[in-house]
């Protein structure tokens, strides 16, 4: 998952003239920021209900959803009720819930940090990984990558 690109895409998308300025921050509502590869294939889409760009460059995002695509289909979906992105340091963090879902796996937790420099994503507490084929594997004794 290349979260750096969707965060950069968010910054570019928020710089469009679809924002309203107030004394301390710029805001945008109901946004979608797609990212395409060199062949014009959709790589990711970032959605949010609300984003606020603070004077220090930190972006507060509400109801974040990121879809990452592979071969034209959604491969991973990341959701969080809120997060902050620090443009200057290329980091994101939140104390809210996080959910990362793939076809056969769901990772959840509370609080996260992301550093785009080293591509490190850390869930702070209550981390839980659910493998959808694990239960079947335990019951049948057959590994998910083997045929019964």
pLDDT in tens, 58-103: 889 999 888 888 998 999 898 999 999 887 887 889 999 999 999 8
Residue 70 lies in a domain: yes
Reduced to 3 states (helix: H, G, I; strand: E, B; else coil), residue 118 is coil
**Alpha helices, DSSP H, located in the chain:** 3-14, 134-140
Residue 21 lies in a domain: yes
Find the CATH number of the domain harbouring 68: 2.60.450.10
How much is the CA Rg of the chain, to the nearest whole Å?
17
Q: Which pLDDT value is given to residue 39?
A: 93
Q: Which pLDDT value is given to residue 148?
A: 54
Contact indicator for 43, 5 with CB cutoff of 8 Å: yes
Q: Which pLDDT value is given to residue 7?
A: 47
Residue 145 lies in a domain: no
Residue 144 lies in a domain: no
Reported as a pLDDT band with limits 50, 70 and 90, residue 128 is: very high
Strand partners, 94: 112
User: In this predicted structure, which of 47-51, 55-59, 73-77 has the lowest mean pLDDT?
Assistant: 55-59
Residue 146 lies in a domain: no
Reported as a pLDDT band with limits 50, 70 and 90, residue 31 is: confident
Residue 122 lies in a domain: yes
Contact indicator for 19, 28 with CB cutoff of 8 Å: yes
Q: Which pLDDT value is given to residue 101?
A: 93
> b or e along 36-62 (b: 16 or more beta carbons within 10 Å of the residue's beta carbon)?
eeeeeeebbbbbbeebbbeeeebbbbe
Count of domains for the chain: 1
Q: Which pLDDT value is given to residue 146?
A: 60
Range of the domain at 84: 3-138
Residue 143 lies in a domain: no
Residue 10 or 57, more confident? 57
Residue 103 lies in a domain: yes
């Amino acid at each position: 998952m290349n979260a750096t690109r969707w965060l950069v895409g968010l910054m570019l998308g928020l710089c469009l003239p679809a924002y309203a300025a107030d004394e301390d921050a710029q805001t945008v509502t109901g946004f979608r920021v797609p990212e395409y590869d060199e062949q014009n294939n959709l790589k990711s889409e970032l959605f949010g209900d609300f984003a606020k760009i603070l004077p220090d460059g930190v972006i507060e995002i509400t109801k974040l959803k990121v879809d990452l695509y592979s071969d034209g289909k959604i491969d991973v979906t990341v959701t969080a009720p809120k997060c902050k992105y620090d443009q200057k340091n290329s980091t994101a963090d939140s104390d809210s819930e996080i959910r990362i879902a793939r076809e056969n796996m769901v990772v959840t937790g509370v609080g996260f940090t992301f550093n785009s420099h080293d591509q490190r994503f850390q869930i702070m507490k209550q981390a839980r990984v659910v493998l959808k084929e694990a239960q079947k594997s335990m019951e049948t004794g057959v590994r998910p990558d083997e045929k019964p």
